[in-house]
Every structure is written in structure tokens, then in C-alpha cells.
Amino acid sequence: MTIAVSSTATGSRRLGRSVAAIVAGFLAVAVLSLGTDQVLHVLQVYPPWGEPMWDPRLNALALSYRVVYTILGGYITAALAPYAPMRHVAIGGILGLLAGTAGAIVAIRVADLGPNWYPIALALTGFPCVWLGGLIHEARRAQ
């Protein structure tokens, strides 16, 4: 006995899985980044929330773990994508670039939370890092 599944239902399921893959990668980056930030604030490595962080070493530290987490986010997106993993990674990367650019504009023009190079670097490294994560997934899958 076979059950006919409409192409609309199948298309909706694929779209839902596609959205979930992109959201999962994005959430992994956000949760890991903010979690690490919180630990470093509690340990008093970083100044209290809301205060500027002008020490370039601290900004470099934050950028370094965000780069790693963003690569992981790209890997997660590619691994969960129901088809065309790198297309999903590209969409996630573009959304991240847009969010990072908006965040940089707010950080520079409104919030004044530290040196301008840091939010600019976050915005510019997002897409290449998420893409690298997708490539790592693809290389591992090919093995």
C-alpha cells in the first residue's frame, strides 16, 4: 500500500527543513557567542555589560571565538540542509552579513561600545567563516 503525498506537502516540509537548517546554524553562533561573553563577564575578563571594551586584546579575543563559532554555524547549516548545503550556507551567510552590518552601524553610530574595527570585522568575517564551515562539511561528507 502506498500513500500519495502531494508536492505541496513535500515542498512545505523541505522549506521548513531549509529554514530550520539556517536558523539552527545562526542560533548556534548566537548562543555560543553570548554564552562565552557571559562567562568572560562573570570572570571579570570583560568589563560589565553595557560598558565599552576598549582593550584591543579583548576585542581580538571576542573576534577569535566568534570566528570559530561562525565556522561551526556554517557546518551545522550544511549538515542539516535537506538539499544543496552550500546554497543554505550562502543564504545564512548573507543574512548574517546583513545582521552584522546593521549591528556595526548601531555600534558605531549609537552605542559607542568600543573601537570601530571590531563590529566592522564581525560583519566582514561572517560570510567567509560560515562558507568555510560549509566547505568543511562538504569535504567531510565526500570522504
In order along its 143 residues, the chain shows pLDDT tens digits of 555 555 566 778 889 999 999 999 999 999 999 999 999 999 999 999 989 999 999 999 999 999 999 999 999 999 999 999 999 999 999 999 999 999 999 989 887 788 999 999 999 999 999 999 999 999 999 99
Is residue 51 a contact partner of residue 111, using CB atoms and an 8 Å limit? no
The identity of residue 100, as a single letter, is: G
How do the domains of the chain map onto residue ranges?
12-142
Q: 9 in helix, strand or coil? A: helix
Q: What is the pTM of this model?
A: 0.90
